[in-house]
Structure 1
């Protein structure tokens, strides 16, 4: 369904999975991904930088929202 269809897509997916700690935060709130760090990680892993940048731009909002939702659950759980 939402699986990457190309080698570049798979590479970008692997970088995003490995980049879980590359976040920009203000206090306990995640405000975005550290694109510089994620792109550097991608370069080290051999990912296509153009594809990775496109995926990051599309996925950042969803990733940040999901992380913040989980953090709120931890605070209230």
Structure 2
């Protein structure tokens, strides 16, 4: 359904898997991802650095939105 369609997309998914817990947060709200962790994971996984830099904002926005979404465990988001 939401599978990556390009090699760079698969690389970004692998990088996200490695560094998804590296977020900036304040009082239970996620503000964004740690870009340095993203770059380090990209390098470690030999992902295309230009593509990863361009994809980072979209990945960060999606992860931030998902983590801040209200849920039964966290009704305030």
Deviation track 1:1-47 (CA, whole Å, cap 9, x = no partner) reads 54333322211111112222110011211000101111111101111
Give the aligned partner of residue 21 of structure 2: 21
Q: Confirm whether residue 46 of structure 1 aligns to residue 46 of structure 2.
A: yes
Q: Normalized per residue, which structure has more helix?
A: 1
TM-score for the superposition, normalised by structure 1:
0.80
List runs of 5+ in structure 1 lacking aligned partners: none
List runs of 5+ in structure 2 lacking aligned partners: none
Structure 1 runs (4+) greater than 6 angstroms displaced: none
TM-score for the superposition, normalised by structure 2:
0.80
Asked if 2 retains the 8 angstrom alpha-carbon contact of 1:22 and 1:37, the reply is yes
